[in-house]
A and B are shown apart, each in its own frame.
Chain A
Amino acid sequence: MDVVMLSRLQFAVAVFFHFIFVPLTLGLSILLAYMETRYVMTGDEMWKKQTKFWGKLFIINFTLGVVTGITLEFQFGTNWSRYSEYVGDIFGSLLAIEATVAFFLESTFLAVWHFGWNRVGKKTHLFAIWMVAIAGNISALWIIIANGWMQNPVGYVLRNGRAELDNFLTVVQNPYAWGIYAHTVSSAWMLGGFFVLGVSAWHLLRNADNVFFRRSFRMAAPFTLVMVALVALAGHHQGGTVAQLQPAKLAAMEAQWETEKNAPFHMLLIPDVANETNSVQALSVPGLMSWIAYGDVNAEVKGLKDFPKEDRPPVAPTFWSFRIMLALGGLFALLALVSFVVRNASVKPSRLLKALVWCIPLPYVAIMLGWAVAEIGRQPWIVYNLMRTTDAVSPVPESNVLISLVAFIVVYSALGALDILLLCKYARKGPQE
């Protein structure tokens, strides 16, 4: 393998591992802020207990999220130095803004919240968790604006042999970024909801009368349902944006080889990449593909064959990631709907509860797949239509990258396993005191 492939793999390992922790931080912080708000408003000790129990899991999850994030920021320099030099004027400033606007806020107020239960007043303590929740979601915005610029570079000029900032507002208002932000944040909140539902389900399976987890369940069910709907809406909207801005990605997502009007959507589809066709196409809905992409059943959808081969993204991983994500989305809708319906039932169906426990990892999988679509679908470009991934990599020896990649895989696997074990341990233990 060459330096480019090794560096891509390393970045994929680092970013996917980081993103195990991020969505739960985003989603659970909002739920924690809600729980503590209820506590402060009503004085009900049960809400305090809820905050503390879910807060403990939040903290275990948070730490690894922070430090794996530092690695990511530095990897642009270590492994993608030519990219960094070419686009740092824009991309670097967005990362720096993220740190100054959001990371300080998040880390400082998390410390106040975590260590301050007996040191600050109730209202200050509540304020702290809201700051954590808001800061986390703000940091997601800036990093996604940075990613959005790689997907749809705007507001720049090519000058002095690099991309320089031309209009900051245009960069910040990038429609791609805001669309993917809505999709990412709602899916992270949904993941938080399923996490709470899943852990609660585990306890309710053992004791249907567990008052504590009945309340957690009742709180999370409507939240999760709303989020599933928002994920779908934002995702659909983003599909339209991708159709306009990145037609090659859209074609790869749907394994659309030929350019056609009134393009159908095939429920069952198996692409045959070698022969540039699909070996199975069944359960087709005429015009649905055109409608999804352009809101018009007669619109023309551009096929992969109309793009030069060297400009096409890898079709198989893009297509399958997207398909499996969609299927999981359907499952989430079903689970969230049933959970919502039975949220007040004194005994909830044990099949649902079991499914919720086993489904705790699935929103993570779906989110990873979504990012795989976004990032693999952007290839062969690191900055869409502006810089190729092969031109972006650092001039470092292959051996260095190979060693660090192996180190990443070994260390991250071990830490990930340990972190999950600890989360399980404390999740099973239930609330203390």
Chain B
Amino acid sequence: MLETTWFILWGLLWAVYFILDGFDLGLGSLLPFIAKNEGERRIVYNAAGPFWDGNEVWLITAGGVTFAAFPKAYAVMFSALYAPLLILLFALIFRAVSFEFRNKVDSNAWRSLWDGVHFITNFLPALLLGVAFANLFMGIPIDAQGVYQGTLFTLLNPYGLAGGVFFVVIFAMHGALWLAFKSEGALQTRAIGTALILWPVVLLLLLAFLGLSAFYTQLFANYVANPALFIIPVIVVLGLAGVRAFLTSGKILLAWCSSAVFLLGVTFFGVIGMFPGMIMSSLNPEWSVTAFNAASSPLTLKIMLGVALVMVPIVLVYQFWMYRLFSHTLKAEDIKNDSHAY
């Protein structure tokens, strides 16, 4: 029971991370395409401004909780995904630096350089997270000791790459919605237009991904065994439908929230499909790392559950307060006059 609870919380932490960092990674991947001048570029940066750092803490927490609750899963997952994970980390380092350094030297060449860095370092994490999670959904070649028997290229299989593209496009749409919420005028119109263009692409990719999942993975087995679980794919579809419905009726924030529900659903579709597997071995199912053979001791799981039940709601309250505080529309003129803005 404790293991199952932690497995669900583990999935939830990743989902919250995708929802929150997803939009700022999406914003960065859209930067070269959506912003037409310096004022608009700064709006794109500042739309993520106060948020990206706190959002990344959800990644730290997801990693930390994997370590604390499922040490073996943490050990196998992170050493097996050595190369993609380190590329992800380097990308996140350069992304942070691009926020911080871009406006510290008054030169167009300097700013263009960091704009390029910013695009790559937002696009890459989205892609890598997609590739990594698709491979986890499918299973990777680990032996009985949990030692990875493949290379970086083993992960770049059709299903993994499909997952990568899927994440990039979802995050881009999620980011466009956030930008639409935070901007006005021409930029807002463009952001809404971008989200509307990306929407059918997301829909197509979703269908493709579900189809490929039936072909490449065992994800549907749990659903077939417990049909009540089909509520999750239904949430996925409702979330995506809501994005379009709210967007066309001008309710941008609700469209973003629908997109968040969609992301939650997509994550849980995979996580519940995997249960109790965390890293399935594609070589032999008996070598898989599961919530049960990877879990920490009951004492640790209980203490951590106490910490999570007390701290996470508090975190959510003050993060929500912070989001409200900075929910205002960004104007190029205001940013120009604000010495603290990115």
Contacts and interface: CB of A to CB of B under 8 A. Distances in A.
A84 B307 contact: no
Contacts of A119: 325-326
Contacts of B94: 411
Interface in A117-138: 117-120
A220 to B, nearest CB: 24
Contacts of A168: 299, 303
Chain B, interface residues (CB within 8 Å), range: 35 or more
B100 A112 contact: no
A175 B322 CA distance: 37
A396 B99 CA distance: 33
Contacts, number: 225
A422 B146 CA distance: 44
B104 A96 contact: no
Interface in A253-311: none
A103 B57 contact: yes
B340 A114 contact: yes
B53 A107 contact: yes
Contact of A100 (B145, B307, B319): B307
B193 interface: no
A97 interface: yes
Contact of A70 (B68, B75, B92, B300): B92
A206 interface: no
Interface stretch (B80-88, B198-206, B239-247): B80-88
B89 interface: yes
A139 B101 CA distance: 26
Given A63-B100, A104-B319, A422-B104, A92 B71 contact: yes
B325 to A, nearest CB: 6
A147 to B, nearest CB: 15
B300 A90 contact: yes
B233 interface: no
Interface in B38-70: 49-51, 53-54, 56-57, 59-61, 63-70
Given A96-B64, A96-B68, A115-B49, A85 B75 contact: yes
Contacts of A422: 101, 104
Chain A, interface residues (CB within 8 Å), range: 35 or more
A400 B83 contact: yes
A222 interface: no
Interface stretch (B171-179, B270-278, B308-316): B308-316
Interface string A78-105: 1101101111111111011111110111
Given A99-B64, A100-B312, A395-B147, A407 B53 contact: no
Interface string B291-333: 0000011011001100110011001001100100110000000
Contacts of B66: 77, 92
B82 A99 contact: no
B207 interface: no
A159 B339 CA distance: 56
Nearest to B76: A81
Given A78-B78, A395-B79, A407-B90, 7 more contacts: A71-B89, A97-B68, A103-B61, A104-B315, A394-B75, A396-B148, A411-B90
Q: Lowest 8 CB-CB distances: which A-B pairs, in order?
A: A88-B71, A77-B78, A92-B67, A96-B64, A81-B75, A111-B50, A96-B68, A92-B68
Interface of B: 49-51, 53-54, 56-57, 59-61, 63-72, 74-79, 81-83, 85-86, 89-90, 92-97, 99-101, 104, 145-148, 296-297, 299-300, 303-304, 307-308, 311-312, 315, 318-319, 322, 325-326, 338-341
